[in-house]
Amino acid sequence: MDDFFDNKIDFLKGVGPQRAKLFNQELNIYTYYELIRYFPFRHEDRTQIHPIAELEDEMPYLQVKGQIINWETAGEGFKKRLIATFSDGTGSLELLWFQGIQWQLKNLKSGVEYLVFGKPQFFNGKFSLVHPEIELVTNLEQQIGYLQPVYNLTEKLKKKFITSKIIGKIIQGLLEIAYNQIEENLSEQIIQAQKLISRRDALVQIHFPKNANWLKHAKNRLKFEELFFLQLKLLHQQQNKKIRYKGQLLTQTALLTQFYTEHLPFELTNAQKRVVKEICKDMASGQQMNRLLQGDVGSGKTIVAFLAMLMAVDSGTQACLVAPTEILAEQHYHGLKEFTDKMGITIDLLTGSTRTKDRRVLHGRLENGNLKILVGTHALFEDKVQFENLGLCIIDEQHRFGVAQRSKLWNKNPEIVPHVLVMTATPIPRTLAMTLYGDLDVSIIDELPAGRKPIKTAHRYDAHRLRVFGFIKEEIKKGRQIYIVYPLIEESEKLSYKNLMDGYESIARAFPEAQISILHGQMSSTDKDYEMQRFIRKETQIMVATTVIEVGVNVPNASVMVIENSEKFGLSQLHQLRGRVGRGGDQSYCILMTDVKLSKEAKVRLETMVRTTNGFEIAEVDLKLRGPGNMMGTQQSGMMDLIIADLAKDAHILQNAREVAKKIIEEDMPLKKPENQALRLYLQKSAKQESYWSRIS
């Protein structure tokens, strides 16, 4: 980015103050730099001319060449339209306009050749092109053989008659004067090794490619560049953090060993052992731990968290565990209390429904250090909650908390920042994790406890409900417990509630001999807890619930998860829900109920669930279906600013970019080598926009 590129677009050829204002407001484009980086989202293939006789249904945008035979207007008012019959000798089709009719009427001619561009639609036995682009062949001869860029337009731009073509012309004008000003920002070595084209060529070819191959190279180069600088930034941040934040020395392991040998209820899996070691090493390193613990549902993250807390307590500090819901916080509290009671360690629970009186006592015990472990919800983030010496902070199910909240916890210890362990059960595709959590170290529990039988998953239509009920009865006879989950209906809480209650009634009718619990978001937390406890104590056999049970709930005796209207759930949600079963030694089942009518995407989701229980595989499919913008947590990271790279599709480029960035950070930070001066210059120039980089110089 040069000073040249900081120029305002206002006086660029074809722009002018009025259009400039539109570009500012509608596209957030102010400078040459921003304009040149307004990349087309696709190109129209103007290299081919299609014979009308060979048109088929469902064809993309295409080009035909021929003459207009006749035209007429039809209809009145808003139904008024202009219909022209267009023929190329092989056949004919209709050109249709609903707007700008007067203007078209003035310009249409017969007996001359036109090139017409549009997407054919088949209607009433005829093909038609609605609002096609149409130009006289004489004007256009030189343009045949082009890949024409198509730019995103807003409604307002369209109203002001700014077309994709106009934007293209303006950018073409800019490229003419800017070409020599475009500076390379990657080193010769990188360009050679990655087989990239130059930045100049890339910026020209991305808009006006000579052919499909050039376009491919241009995209590749710009994606690499984008991901490379993002990774360079993240990795450098990571390195900086390590240098900047000193961590508490939590080195005592006597309690851990005691618990391990006397009270641990099962053998840890190898993956758990490895992760515990990683955490121990971090906490004893003298630097602050900032670790992400990824483990599929049921992989046993809680025990790992507890072992880490033991170390913190052992070394004279306090620990806290934050969960996203009250149910989950309570469950963690009850589960951990069994352990801490055996170890003689104090523990307490703080949620939104903790009474003020109890709170005051709790605050006091936290501040004087009598209370060692605090479990809670986001109520824990409040400023009033102060610790004597917080040493470790664990956040369960990270995706529910924002980065800002995470950092609030850091401030809970003004002396020295606490260690942070973030746990997530929503596996994130590797590409996304690298970008999202580039600043965190990652531990992965990639092994389920021994003896777990993979959950059997089936998709059943509503018509088979009786058979499903029969199956549930059999399972209840065997002493198992059942979840039946209903979706939240987004438009209305009332509808969701009704849906759930209707479900509850039909279940009660179908299983007169069973005891049934019910759980939904509108119940008070006391009631929720009561119902949950009844289910845990096996007093009820069926739990009818909304997605409040989605996260973390642990009842090992529950072996069947029935999800009603399962087409309404996203993949990660289905996976989370399924993870509520298969937690004991019994064979577990997940039954996905749907109507027969299913969208294409819903079918993919259901097929994926039936095919695999691997959370990472499911996350990959999810990313492909939904795109990174809709994945949890992406909004908070810089990656939403990506303008050309696509994390779902460009995994291998990201991987390369990350490796190259890593190497540079290791070998030459802060960029002193001559060959890295292009990088350095580019980073310094972008520092104007991002204060972060100013520290590098």
Residues that bind ligand ADP (CB under 6 A): 266-269, 272, 295, 297-303, 425, 449, 554, 556, 583
Nearest approach in angstroms of CB 551 to ligand ADP is 9
| x-marked contacts with Mg ion along 516-555 as a string, rule CB under 5 A | ------------------------------------x---
The entry of ligand ADP, Mg ion, none near residue 66 (CB within 5 to 8 angstroms by kind) is: none
CB of 396 to ligand ADP, least distance (A): 7
Q: Which is nearer to Mg ion, 66 or 552 (CB)?
A: 552
Residue 300 token pair = 């046993």
Q: Where do the DSSP E strands lie in 587-670?
A: 589-594
Cα angle: 90, vertex 95, 98; to 5 degrees:
170
132 binds, among ligand ADP, Mg ion, none (CB under 5 to 8 A by kind): none
CB of 555 to ligand ADP, least distance (A): 9
Between 91 and 556, whose beta carbon lies closer to ligand ADP? Answer: 556
What does each C-alpha distance from 691 to 244, 420, 684, 696 come to in angstroms? Answer: 17, 26, 10, 10
Cis previous bond, 418, omega within 30? no
Q: CB-based burial of residue 118 (10 Å sphere; 0-12 exposed, 13-18 middle, 19+ buried)?
A: buried
CB of 146 to ligand ADP, least distance (A): 55
Contacted by 272, from Mg ion, ligand ADP, none: CB < 5 to 8 Å by type: ligand ADP
DSSP 464-479: GHHHHHHHHHHHHHTT
Residue with smaller CB distance to ligand ADP, 132 or 324: 324
Task: Please choose which of Mg ion, ligand ADP, none residue 269 contacts, taking the beta carbon within 5 to 8 angstroms, the exact cut-off set by kind.
Answer: ligand ADP
Work out the burial of residue 502: count CB atoms within 10 Å of its CB; fewer than 13 is exposed, 13-18 middle, 19 or more buried: exposed
* Cβ atoms 193, 675 nearer than 8 A: no
- Burial bucket for residue 106 (CB in 10 Å: 0-12, 13-18, 19+): exposed
Cα separation, 243 vs 341, whole angstroms: 38
327 vs 639 by CB, closer to ligand ADP: 327
Question: C-beta of 530: minimal distance to ligand ADP in Å?
Answer: 22
Nearer to Mg ion, 487 or 552 (CB): 552
Q: Which is nearer to ligand ADP, 556 or 638 (CB)?
A: 556
Site for Mg ion in 157-186 (CB under 5 A): none
Number of H helices, E strands in the chain: 24, 22
Main-chain dihedrals φ then ψ at residue 148, nearest 5 degrees:
-90, 130
* Least distance (Å) between residue 436 CB and ligand ADP: 20
Nearer to ligand ADP by Cβ, of 176 and 267: the residue is 267
Could you tell which of ligand ADP, Mg ion, none binds residue 299, using a CB distance below 5 to 8 A set by kind? Answer: ligand ADP
CB of 592 to Mg ion, least distance (A): 22
Least Å distance, CB 385 to ligand ADP, is 24
Residue pair 445/314 in contact by the 8 Å Cβ criterion: no
Residue 554 contacts which entry, ligand ADP, Mg ion, none (Cβ below 5-8 A, type-dependent): ligand ADP
Task: Please state the length of the chain.
Answer: 697
424 binds, among ligand ADP, Mg ion, none (CB under 5 to 8 A by kind): none
Q: Choose among ligand ADP, Mg ion, none what residue 496 binds, the Cβ cut-off being 5 to 8 Å by kind.
A: none
Q: Which does 583 bind (CB under 5 to 8 A by kind): Mg ion, ligand ADP, none?
A: ligand ADP
Q: How far is the CB of 168 from ligand ADP (least distance, A)?
A: 52
Partner whose footprint covers residue 393, from ligand ADP, Mg ion, none (CB < 5 to 8 Å by kind):
none
Q: Closer CB to ligand ADP, residue 575 or residue 680?
A: 575
Task: Give the number of residues in contact with Mg ion, rule: CB under 5 A.
Answer: 1
Quote the tokens at residue 417: 């920042």
Which of Mg ion, ligand ADP, none binds 298 (CB below 5-8 Å, type-dependent)?
ligand ADP
Across 405-526, the runs of DSSP E, i.e. the strands, are 419-424, 441-445, 456-461, 481-485, 516-519
Q: Is the alpha carbon torsion for 545, 327, 441, 399 positive or negative?
A: positive
- Using the minimum distance from each CB to ligand ADP, give the nearer residue, 298 or 418: 298
Classify residue 196 by its DSSP letter: P
84 versus 336: smaller Cβ distance to Mg ion: 336
Minimum CB separation from ligand ADP for residue 38, in Å? 44
Comparing CB distances to ligand ADP, the nearer of 202 and 303 is 303
Contact between 391 and Mg ion (CB under 5 A)? no
- Cα separation, 517 vs 545, in Å, equals 8
In angstroms, what is the minimal distance from the CB of 151 to ligand ADP?
46
In order, the DSSP letters of 510-537 are H-TTS-EEEE-TTS-HHHHHHHHHHHHT
Chain residue whose CB lies nearest ligand ADP: 300
Pick the closer one to ligand ADP by CB: 422 or 654: 422
Cα-Cα-Cα-Cα torsion 385, 386, 389, 391, nearest 10 degrees, comes to 40
Residue with token string 């909650």: 385
Of 487 and 579, the one with the shorter C-beta distance to ligand ADP is 579
Question: In this complex, which beta carbon is closest to ligand ADP, that of residue 269 or of residue 525?
Answer: 269
Neighbours of 516 (CB within 10 A): 18
As measured in angstroms, the least distance from the Cβ of 295 to ligand ADP is 5
Cβ-based neighbour number of residue 355 at 10 Å: 8
Rg of the chain (C-alpha set): 31
Residue with tokens 């899996």: 269
Rounded distance, CA 217 to CA 198, Å? 10
Instruction: Give the shortest CB-423-to-Mg ion separation in angstroms.
Output: 7
Provide the minimum distance between the beta carbon of 268 and ligand ADP in the complex, in angstroms, as a whole number: 5
- Transcribe 262-296 into DSSP letters: HT-SSPPPHHHHHHHHHHHHHHTSSB--EEEEEE-
Beta bridge partners of 424: 294
Q: Which does 369 bind (CB under 5 to 8 A by kind): ligand ADP, Mg ion, none?
A: none
Residue 449's binding partner out of ligand ADP, Mg ion, none, with CB under 5 to 8 Å set by partner kind: ligand ADP
Compute the CA torsion angle 386, 387, 391, 394 (nearest 10 deg): -60
The residues of the shown chain that bind Mg ion, judged by CB under 5 A, are 552
